[in-house]
Structure 1
């Protein structure tokens, strides 16, 4: 079967690619970054699913209808019912698919803001977005090596234009790779993400929400609305481009408080019982309200800095996240309420009164801010606390290309553009005015699979029609649909860690290389020169720079499987640590 072009290597594109392969189509995946994964790897709370096996085992009475109603309410009645039905109706199957096909642990389930039932799934360790995305990414890269005729992956390949035929259908894409413009032919699935980091000259963000333009963002610098712009240039319709979500809890780095890019504080931190306090030590909002509501209350209250505070019990429930944030200097641990009050510039009795008032509300199930769902356990000054300073951040763009329930991109007249599909954040109309936490990964998987199904069916239909029209001249058709890149060599096999250089370095040697333009780190006894890898790191440069000239083993092992280095950065290994 001929190929489908997938533009974007995040979870939406990967889910589409795997679905295409299941349906018998070949895949050419083009990603403009040097490392796939996109923002999907940063998702920290989990993936929603209604009616899953995990929920059944935990006695949670959830179903697609309840999830539909929660999503519609969150969307402020601006999302399209047909797309919500696809998202929620296929949610349980999406979670099951991830567990069955990729062997993922999604055995924990939590309730996030705006959800009437616990339905956000994650495993016991690591960020769920990273775990889910890496599983798909590694499987696809293995296939590109073992079966390069079926799977081709071209990184650092920026798609610049969609190619149309005389009838207006999309038949391919132009992309820039190795300094050359190449053309690939086949139906196209756009999975390029949103525009919440679109600070370019033709910024969709500045055009549609100029008041948000100066806010920090959680998005990588690749989120510049490429897919939306290319599709609109050939007549695609866009919807809800002004609907931009500002997440209430971006982590403020005390050493770089004005940084444009912020790390997100997982909504799960509030889901396990974290409280938001202003600079007077007072609560001002139901922490589990919708994201836009909490953001609005932060701005309305206006008493900064705002802190997210987890007591001992909440910290233990999400210990891995806290340890990670503390390790990155984004969260601080206090051994008592008195120590915390001192750091906040408050008298201990002020903080104690806030805790006592909250405890009374929990006991009476009557919170002054309308909170309905509480974690067990009392707040006490004789406890330890993990604390971080919060700020609202640009996070997600609900607007995007208008699609139908089959993920087909439609034109201004509402008619599908032949050969063009969209999935993930590039598509609009799914979440309305506000997206629920946990539905980002879900949207990627659900509509990734829908777009893969639709594109495979379209490819089969057009191939059959063309063969019939050409009187059986299949060879000519196949030649038209195949990619014509400058090089079609299969991806090289990952280097083995055993092939690392044998040169030895001391810790003192490594410590000398502690600047962005010359940066070494130690990971599991290996010495890595990561200077050239910095721009490609999916977690951003800061995550590596923090450990410049130091041993990053503990932090690395918290986030990554050991095979990540030989697979993705074998050339960075320059030797071993001298014992």
Structure 2
């Protein structure tokens, strides 16, 4: 409904095309995701009266189709509503029962079929019989030698994760222990933007820097103050370009960009993982770069935007100092093309506030 209200041109076929370009080419799963996402968003809004009024065009998408509200992270908004609904049902009827502070230890079997679970609560074991759905999350926070990460993607063990420390693959291991077949566990996604805790920069658990920060116009720059990628490219592409450039990297938002996502900015700064700079000059001083460098970075971005506004085809035009074009990193697919959002001229950088 939000897309229609804002006259966004998008289709299930276009969404499907975008998804297949960046995934494992499994059309049966992509069909479920892309075909059901619109009705599911409408259901959340209608059923729970959720605020999903803000649209953003994020990495790998060729149209604005990611929904969020004006406050809180969208995941919080959605999951809190669902949890509260189940809690109300459990209070009013026998249709649902919630058991908290318990740990499932084993899947129970009967004649070769799963028939329930064995769980521990307050030092005692209990059995719960019935159909079982495993929804225990992934395994990205298990860095031990016998972890699923070590088994399927040992090359990623040195990286931190934005998964919670509970995400250790317990459910998958329980399934495998009774002979369940697992698939695609090697498909571990590396997200390009995580927030570093200044007091503990080597921490293995990081706080996610929401992709919406790039969607509202945030720029990713390297240690020299230069852009080196299309911020709205797919995550694997942005991460790949980071390996080639010079860290540390910064995700910077000018005044207009930060105002569009201010709840996030205030939340991050409150946690001490994001800084606010009164001026771009302060930012450059903190980075140890010349102001003229950051001015040039923004000016090149600004000039490319002006050119594409006059061109019905939208470019491509050089948008960062490497000389590559705005849509080139996405393989000429149009991702990032015709989308310059909350841009500023280089001359404004000196006095512009930044997050």
TM-score (norm 1): 0.55
8 A Cα contact 1:174 1:184, kept in partner = yes
Q: Which residue of 2 aligns with 1:113?
A: 59
Counterpart among 319, 322, 341 of residue 375 in structure 1: 341
Q: Which residue of 1 aligns with 2:102?
A: 157
8 A Cα contact 2:283 2:354, kept in partner = no
Q: Which residue of 2 aligns with 1:550?
A: none
Counterpart among 69, 73, 84 of residue 21 in structure 2: 73
Counterpart among 55, 71, 82 of residue 136 in structure 1: 82
Question: What is the CA–CA distance in structure 1 between the aligned matches of 2:352 and 2:100, rounded to whole Å?
Answer: 45
Q: Which residue of 2 aligns with 1:89?
A: 35
8 A Cα contact 1:171 1:186, kept in partner = yes
Indicate whether 1:345 and 2:288 are aligned: yes
Residues 9-20 of structure 1 aligned to structure 2 (within 5 Å): none
Counterpart among 315, 318, 322 of residue 265 in structure 2: 322
Per-residue deviation, 1:96: 1.2
Alignment RMSD: 1.5
Secondary structure at the aligned position of 1:241 is classed as coil
Distance 1:247 1:385, change over 3 A: farther
Per-residue deviation, 1:385: 3.5
Q: Which residue of 1 aligns with 2:275?
A: 332
Q: Which residue of 1 aligns with 2:12?
A: 64
Per-residue deviation, 1:114: 0.3
Deviates more, 1:97-106 or 1:369-378: 369-378
Residues 453-468 of structure 1 aligned to structure 2 (within 5 Å): none
Which one has a bigger Cα radius of gyration?
A: 1
8 A Cα contact 2:301 2:343, kept in partner = no
Once the two structures are superposed, residues 162-193 of structure 1 have per-residue CA deviations (whole angstroms, 9 ceiling, x without a partner) of 12221x22211111122122111111111111
Question: What is the CA–CA distance in structure 2 between the aligned matches of 1:208 and 1:195, rounded to whole Å?
Answer: 11
Q: Which residue of 2 aligns with 1:54?
A: 2
Once the two structures are superposed, residues 290-337 of structure 1 have per-residue CA deviations (whole angstroms, 9 ceiling, x without a partner) of 111111111111x12111111111111111111111121111111222
Q: Which residue of 1 aligns with 2:312?
A: none
8 A Cα contact 2:216 2:342, kept in partner = no
Question: What is the CA–CA distance in structure 1 between the aligned matches of 2:132 and 2:288, rounded to whole Å?
Answer: 56
8 A Cα contact 2:280 2:354, kept in partner = no
Per-residue deviation, 1:377: 3.7
Determine which structure has the larger strand proportion and give its number. Answer: 1
Once the two structures are superposed, residues 391-434 of structure 1 have per-residue CA deviations (whole angstroms, 9 ceiling, x without a partner) of xxxxxxxxxxxxxxxxxxxxxxxxxxxxxxxxxxxxxxxxxxxx
8 A Cα contact 1:74 1:114, kept in partner = yes
Secondary structure at the aligned position of 2:193 is classed as strand
Q: Which residue of 2 aligns with 1:286?
A: 230
TM-score (norm 2): 0.89
8 A Cα contact 1:312 1:383, kept in partner = no
Question: What is the CA–CA distance in structure 2 between the aligned matches of 1:200 and 1:258, rounded to whole Å?
Answer: 17
Listed as ranges, the gaps of 5+ residues in structure 1 are 1-52, 388-579
